[in-house]
Amino acid sequence: MNKIRATLQTAEWPTLFLILLCHLVWAAALLFHQSLGFALTALLAVPMVTLHSSLQHEALHGHPTRSAGLNEGLIFLPLGLAYPYRRFKRMHLRHHNDQSLTDPYDDPESYYYALADWQRLPAPLQRVLDFNNTLFGRLLIGPAVMSVGFYGAELRLARSGKERGMGLAWAAHALGAAIVLVFVLVVAGMPLWQYLLIAYGGLSLLSLRTFAEHQASEAPGGRTAIVEERSLLSLLFLNNNLHYVHHEHPRLPWYRLPALYRSARAEFQAGNAGYVFAGYGDILRRYLFRRKSPVPHPYLRRP
């Protein structure tokens, strides 16, 4: 009883409310998809898939409770279908080693390639990856490119036998995905192809956030962006657009990041060497059809 009381006293209620709201809106949109039509259903459900991914990110950083097991249980269902939560957690916590950010080998979330690996790729695949480094490309094919790379890496790890806990992580994911698909196909009666488009759309919208989060820079602080977005997007991303602030304070809950940023805006911008965007419209204007950076890392993992 004391444990339950302590959990309730320390729980972060804004995050708990969003977890409940996210699942309710997602479920309601699917249950009433025939009345709403696919366009309106997608308009409601796609952002919920994005928000759910953001909530998973909060959970792996220790929110909204002090219990890692409870946090996982609250965001257990993989609404986006693609990634096992426990594998995402393991990779993302490795990503938070700021000294290794953007390293093609040591940062599991890097979009950069080592030069030798890049040179070995067939020319058509190089063109695909170059296109993926434009914002239009990232939104269009980014989730597919990321999934192919992730699943390939997981297969190699599984064959090596060096990664512990992979089987349990994938088993938990398979159970969660089965529950989601039973709800989608049986309870809601939605065609599978429609839900796959919704799941892909949610990951595509998430790619808007991740597109410019990091860049190659000699200074570790200059590798992480600040996007001064103040809109519904910042809520869907749980203020992770203030990504440098999050990397500096990874244990801080999402709803405290804006006030912290405002209190020391100049210091944060000096700390990240001015890698700042006015908003996602700014990123869109700069990089919609223009490659943000070359895929080969400009100075790491080069002969």
Position 3 scores a pLDDT of 54
Neighbours of 51 (CB within 10 A): 25
Model confidence band, residue 7 (pLDDT cutoffs 50, 70, 90): low
| 3-class state of residue 211 by DSSP | coil
Max alpha carbon distance in the chain (Å)? 62
User: Which residue, 30, 89, 100, 46, is CA-closest to 233?
Assistant: 46
Q: What is the pLDDT of residues 51-96, one digit of tens each?
A: 999 999 999 999 999 999 999 999 999 999 999 999 999 999 989 9
> Does residue 2 carry a pLDDT above 90?
no
The percent of residues in the chain predicted with pLDDT above 90, rounded, is 88
Which residues does 283 contact at the CB level (< 8 Å), separation at least 6? 135, 208, 211, 212, 227, 277
Q: What is this structure's pTM?
A: 0.93
More confident residue, 2 or 100: 100
Q: How confident is the model at residue 97 (pLDDT cuts 50, 70, 90)?
A: confident
Are the C-beta atoms of 272 and 228 separated by less than 8 Å?
no
Residue 140: what pLDDT?
97
| 8 has a pLDDT exceeding 80 | no
Please check the confidence at residue 192 and state whether its pLDDT lies above 70: yes
Quote the pLDDT of residue 161.
81
CB–CB of 277/283 below 8 Å? yes
